[in-house]
Structure 1
Amino acid sequence: MSATDTTVALPLPDALLAALEEAEREHPEACMVLRAVRSPGGAILDFEWLWANPAAARALGRGAEYLRGRRLGEVSSKGGIAGRMDVLRQVVESGRPHADNFTEGDVLMQGTAVPLRDGVLLRLRDITSAQRVEEGLRETLDWVRDVLESMPDAFFTVDTDWRITYVNRNAAALTGRSQETLFRRVLWDACPELCGTPFERSLREVAAEESYRLFEVRTGRDRWHEVHAWSSGRNISTYARDITDKKRVQAERDALLAREHSGRLEAEALAQRRTHELMAARERLVQSEKLAMAGQLAAGVGHEINNPLSYVTGNLQFAVEQLTPLARRPGASASLQEGLNEALDALREAREGAERIRVIVRDLQTFARADELRLGPVDVHAALEFGVSMAMTHLRSRAQVERNFGQVPPALAHEARLGQVFLHLLINAAHAIPSGAFERHRVTLTTRREGAWVLAEVSDTGLGMTPEVLQRAFEPFFTTRPMGEGSGLGLSICLGLVRSMHGELTATSIPGLGSTFQLRLPVAERAVHPGVPAVRAEEGSSRKRVLVVDDEPQLTSVLRRILGRQHDVVVAHSGREALTLLEQDDAFDRVFCDLMMADLTGMDVHAELSRRRPELLSRFVFMTGGSFTERARAFLQAVPLPRIEKPFEPGLLHALVESSPPRTGARGGQAV
């Protein structure tokens, strides 16, 4: 205890303390009494343990006698009870209890602090398991909803009063109504056209008998559905699958049998072939819907991560730049320099971690662009590295990855689709290698050029394929994996993707030694994409005025911090605020404007200025987080203004300001 500290004795009778100890000794929840440590002026400086029951001692990993008289920081970490100093101080000073959640080590605690004379009675309850169960239940419900919404068939449920408790989008589409219109309404009121039909009779039989029914109904002039209805507790669930093509095949088969009995076998073969084609088309539809959903998720996640990642990387870079001169300043004490150098090392490591996040987000956004069909120059090595990074969870325990990269030019391909092909080939190689023998197995990536082609090979030392299996490897629905573990579509989809890029995919294999998949793509000349000119800021350049328009306060703060040392920075937190500001003061050398904002988007700002003040647009630079609507894509293709991707380098921002065009005829003014 320092000379300036003083402990105010807690006027708590020993009898009361003994009674509390007796009552709480066997209680499963942690309970403790802390008293305030005050300065001579009466300010609360710390808290120390007066008493703790056995459950509290176990929660803190200390003995009850060890805790007695100890300060908070001596036992708990900053992330635990020791970090609740302000909360405990507020409870004592306000005389009001406080409850919240916090972590102590790896345990999530629910703490309740009650004022007790000149201290607090603190009760802790471990809610880690309850929190995990709640999160697991929420994730399961979200997953079930996503599955039901993504399935290509119709599904809905009703309760005992025939009120619709759930309806997916395909079921709503069958009725011609929206999901919102149908939800919680009585089925027969929401869809009166069902009254008196076999569909109603079957559902009422299921409800009365609590049984299951399978039947077919005509849902349109030439449309049929196979309906499964069953009772499940207090609900009736109904699942309807479109069997129009199946009914058409059956009708054609019956017609053939009626015309000529001798053609029965041919008609059956035709029906089987068309049924198989229908199954293949349906499976491709399911796969495409899954990829589309994954692409939308990847694009949305990438956009949401890029915004906070921008100000994280910007602030890290700013902190490194500010602390580096201090660490090198002569005359500083050794302990101060050591502390600054350690802090700089930590910041640099954090910056490297942020860069890894940026690379992961870039890979996700590459995956999200798989539906864009334009071919262009693609770095085959980058596509291979993308596949390795995404497949590493499958490869890590099975084989080592070796790279034999040659000097190859860009290939004419589609970046996202090529990455998906390599990803599937690498996962396929991992599945061919038994787990547990990491040191003995290799997956080798080889690239080279052969004339007008770029060759990429994925080889493994796995089980290999027999000639019979190799001959059918690219057939749809052919698989050697157990039932339920593979659809047999992976390699056939890869072959289709490669051929769509004017390439070819072949395979060789030796049983027991491994397989090699070779991909050939045409060579493409590397395209030069228009972008931001690389201009280096000159020393001693004049101060300029910069306007930053973004609805993320943290992002505007980091831009002000980075540019504010050399230039005058003004911030607008919405497109509407930016337009109002530019009406009063347009004397800005450069305007950084976010493309996607909640109020008015950057596109709306551009449209309004094109109408009223087109001369200001040459100073604009648009900032994007990587997620584009169709309108945004069309805008960026049509508008010849520079854009920068989040997160961005500070040097690029300074270069754009220094390269700003001269402003003429500006209305001067100072904006706050």
Structure 2
Amino acid sequence: MSAIDTFVPLPLADALLVALEEAEREHPEACMLLRAVRSDSGAIIDFEWLWANPAAARALGHGPEFLRGRRLGEVSAPEGLAGRMEVLRQVVESGRSRADNFAEGEAWLQSTAVRLRDGVLVRLRDVTSAQRMEEGLRDTLDWVRDVLESMPDAFFTVDTDWRITYVNRNAAALTGHTQETLFRRVLWEACPEMCGTPMERALREVATEEGYRLFELRTGKDRWHEVHTWSSGRNISTYARDVTDKKRVQAERDALLAREHSGRLEAEALAQRRTHELMAARERLVQSEKLAMAGQLAAGVGHEINNPLSYVAGNLQFAVEQLTPLARRANAGAAVQAALGEALEALREAREGAERIRVIVRDLQTFARADELRLSPVDVHSAVEFGISMAMTHLRSRARVERSFGQVPHALAHEARLGQVFLHLLINAAHAIPVGDFERHRVTLTTRREGAWVLVEVSDTGLGMTPEVLQRAFEPFFTTRPVGEGTGLGLSICLGLVRSMHGELTATSIPGMGSTFQVRLPVSEAATHPGVPAVRVAEGPQRKRVLVVDDEPQLTSVLKRMLGRQHDVVVAHSGREALALLEQDDAFDRVFCDLMMADLTGMDVHAELSRRRSEVLSRFVFMTGGSFTERARTFLQAVPLPRIEKPFEPGLLLALVDASPPRPGAVVRLPAREGA
């Protein structure tokens, strides 16, 4: 007997089947009824479709009538519904329903099988989208886990019971435990070292407020982490980034700031002190601007005075030299000699006045060069004399000035700044002496050497200072003078200037007996100043050719008078005229060229000759009025040619001409040897 013959057919009019077909026909979920096909021994060997609603037929890719009477293996692939044969057999034999998922073609179906007589009622639901979403979510979770595990920072999450729901390997490494031993444990039990720390406080605040916290946490002796913790649903997430390098850089920066500010990093936050410091800085700025303006004014005035002063002094010298032989002639009458003598005396007095003007202008220019920072060998006696000459108006009515100079070497300093220091100290000494007792008071300047230092002391017999005043004497804006008569910056500025020259300024004082300020400066190894090189005067007269280039006609005239008696002098009144002349005739033994001219400057002339006739430049001497632009200052430092400052000394001009280097083709007369 065949397997089909063992099946007892259901009546066609079975009310249950009819009702099922009627109820499930329009249902969106797939529904089908399968009956068991048994062997002769009664074992289930297959299943056969009795009925399927349209949704089931669509899910299997066939029509309802096609499925009726067909077996599983004829319709479904082994990996599909046909592969669920064992599941369906267990449902029929055990009577218990089963649910599982399987793939049917490209779709994923969720199957629920219930025993119905000698068969099963199967419901199918398409879960392809849900399955794909679940797979995508699973892939996303795997990706997130990979990211969290590969990141160089620590990350962990806890639930509302403080149980660790996730911890990456870096976070586990910070605790000294493995990920497996930490997972699902209570945080405070797994890591008791967190209790009582800012970490615990931040986590509990986030759990209470469901907010966000950012803070830095020290996780080791020299290790720091920047911690972010926030509430995310039922979990609290914590992310910690290692900021040890950042903290190390900050510590190094703080240490550097501490050294730069003499170990004082903690600013005093009092409003009154801040206001005072702001006012002090403002006053210092005003004083600095005043000094800068005074320097610029001094430089400009000095330059403008030096040009006319040069030809005034030169013409006076020329007139004295011309009239002196006439006044000494024996054949001149007494009246003529008396008149010439009186005229010569007037000219000599005028020459002395011009010399005094020259010294004043030189001192002004020294003051104007105070902003140059280059240190060089300085004769401290010259700097002291500068201070005395500038402060004499304050000292003249108060005390005698006494000098006690020793044999001292040059100091490594800045001439203009050192002169300013002595000027301030002398004015300070004058203000310490009351007016009206000139004979009793004195200001003494003493110089001596002590080892590697040059010492200059400025002492006065004035009122002196109490220990409290002496202790604050060098503080900025501290003064004992009435309001409006002093800023309290003088000694503070002096201290800063001396220290900028690697020296030191100290003070001692006895109330009622006077004060002594001592300036200590390092000895300079070099003993001479850069400038005009030493010249050798040729033995015996030798007439030479000299070119004078200057845009001041009066100055060229006086130079021609001063040099013309012994040499042949040619004059050019502009840089362009000088270039044109040298292009045609360069047979000059010495060329005196002004540095600053309106047409072409001496620097422009030098640059042009460097390209065309460089051999002429060795005979150049530059003349300056003392006012240097930045370009001129750089030029004079870079070009190794001699320079002289106006007004000129006739002897220096003649010596420079006599010591001029030999020019090609010139005949040089050698001095006769003794005994020849």
Determine if the TM-score, normalized by the shorter chain, exceeds 0.5.
Answer: yes
Secondary structure of the corresponding residue to residue 520 of structure 2: strand
Q: What is the CA–CA distance in structure 2 between the aligned matches of 1:512 and 1:584, rounded to whole Å?
A: 75
Residues in 2 aligned to 1:408 and 1:586: alpha-carbon distance in whole angstroms = 46
8 A Cα contact 2:479 2:488, kept in partner: yes
The one-letter code of the counterpart of 1:307 is N
- Residue 532 of structure 1 contacts residue 644 of structure 1 at CA under 8 Å; is this kept in 2? no
Q: 1:194 — aligned with what?
A: none
| Equivalent AA in structure 2 for residue 493 of structure 1 | I
Query: In the aligned structure 1, how far is the partner of 2:499 from the partner of 2:487?
Result: 21
Counterpart mapping for 1:336-415 below 5 A? 336-415=336-415
Q: Aligned residue for 1:227?
A: none
Task: Determine if contact 2:548/2:571 at 8 Å carries over to the other structure.
Answer: yes
Cα offset, 1:343, TM superposition: 1.9
| Aligned pairs for 1:19-418 within 5 A | 269-418=269-418
Q: Check the 8 A contact 1:465/1:509 in 2, yes or no.
A: yes
**Unpaired runs of 5+ in structure 2?**
1-265, 667-676
Which residue of the partner structure matches residue 500 of structure 2? 500
Q: Output the amino acid matched with 2:562.
A: I
Matched with 1:531 is 532
**1:626: how far off?**
1.0
Shift of 1:539: 3.4
CA root-mean-square deviation: 2.0
Q: How does 1:589-604 map to 2 (within 5 A)?
A: 589-604=589-604
Rounded to whole Å, the distance in 2 between the matches of 1:618 and 1:267 is 60
Aligned to 2:377, what secondary structure does the other structure show?
strand
CA distance in 1, matches of 2:555, 2:298: 22
Q: What is the deviation of 1:602?
A: 0.7
Q: Partners in 2 of 1:281 and 1:432 — Cα distance? A: 27
Shift of 1:657: 2.2
In the other structure, the counterpart of 1:469 is: 469
SS in 1 for 2:505: strand
Q: Distance in 2 between matches of 1:473 and 1:530?
A: 38
Cα distance in 2, alignment partners of residues 359 and 310 from structure 1? 13
Q: Does 1:557 align with 2:549?
A: no
Shift of the 514–327 alpha-carbon distance from structure 1 to 2, 3 Å rule, reads same
Task: Give the letter aligned to residue 609 of structure 1.
Answer: L
Corresponding residue of 1:657: 657
Mapped to 2, the partners of 1:388 and 1:527 lie a distance apart of 24
Matched, 1:584 2:584: yes
Residue 655 of structure 1, CA deviation: 2.3
Q: TM-score, normalised by structure 2?
A: 0.57
CA shift for structure 1 position 270: 4.0
Q: Distance in 2 between matches of 1:587 and 1:337?
A: 44
The structure with the largest alpha-carbon Rg is 2
Distance in 1 (CA, whole Å) between partners of 2:659 and 2:386 is 34
Instruction: Give the conservation status (yes or no) of the 8 Å contact 1:621–1:644.
Output: yes
* Equivalent residue number for residue 482 of structure 2: 482
1:552 Cα shift? 0.4
Aligned residues of 1:411 and 1:523 also touching (Cα < 8 A): yes
Give a deviation string over 1:120-163, Cα, whole Å, max 9, x none. xxxxxxxxxxxxxxxxxxxxxxxxxxxxxxxxxxxxxxxxxxxx
Contact map agreement 1:311 1:558 (CA 8 A) in 2: yes
State the 1:273 CA deviation. Answer: 3.6
> Does structure 1 residue 540 correspond to structure 2 residue 541?
yes
Counterpart residue identity of residue 539, structure 1? G
Cα deviation per residue 1:486-544 (whole Å; 9 max; x = unaligned)? 11121111111111122221212222222211222222234333523323254331x32
Distance in 1 separating the partners of 2:429 and 2:475:
18
Q: CA contact under 8 A between 1:316 and 1:347: conserved in structure 2?
A: yes
What is the CA–CA distance in structure 2 between the aligned matches of 1:402 and 1:267, rounded to whole Å? 47
What's the CA shift for 1:307?
0.8
Could you tell me how far apart the structure 2 residues matched to 1:496 and 1:473 are? 13
Aligned length: 400
Question: Which amino acid counterpart does residue 510 of structure 2 have in structure 1?
Answer: I
Query: What residue identity is the alignment partner of 1:371?
Result: D
Query: 2:420 maps to what in 1?
Result: 420
- Say whether residues 1:611 and 2:606 are aligned partners: no
> Aligned letter for 2:535?
A
Is 2:535–2:659's contact at 8 Å kept on the other side of the alignment? no
Q: Which moved more, 1:412-421 or 1:329-338?
A: 329-338
CA distance in 2 between counterparts of 1:516 and 1:267 reads 35
| CA distance in structure 1 between the aligned counterparts of 2:587 and 2:405, rounded to whole angstroms | 53
- Contact between 1:537 and 1:654, CA under 8 Å: does it hold in 2? no
Separation of aligned partners in 2, 1:634 and 1:599: 20
Contact 1:400 1:442 in 2 (8 A): yes
1:38-84 CA distances to partner (integer Å, 9 max, x unpaired)? xxxxxxxxxxxxxxxxxxxxxxxxxxxxxxxxxxxxxxxxxxxxxxx
Q: Which moved more, 1:547-556 or 1:631-640?
A: 631-640
The CA distance in 1 between the partners of 2:422 and 2:410, in whole Å, is 16
Q: Which whole-Å deviations, capped at 9, do the CAs of 1:165-203 have from their partners, x for residues lacking one?
A: xxxxxxxxxxxxxxxxxxxxxxxxxxxxxxxxxxxxxxx
Deviations 1:580-624 (A, max 9, x none): 222233332222111100111111111111122222222222111
Task: Give the C-alpha shift of residue 315 in structure 1.
Answer: 1.1
1:151 corresponds to? none
What is the TM-score of this pair, normalised by structure 1? 0.57
Contact preservation (8 Å) 1:532, 1:643: no
SS in structure 1 at match of 2:608: helix
Mean alpha-carbon deviation: is it higher for 524-533 or for 639-648? Answer: 524-533
Q: Percent identity over the alignment?
A: 88
Against the structure 1 CA distance between its residues 413 and 663, is the aligned structure 2 distance closer, same or farther, given a 3 Å change threshold?
closer
Provide the rounded CA distance (Å) in 2 between the counterparts of 1:651 and 1:468: 56
1:192 — aligned with what?
A: none
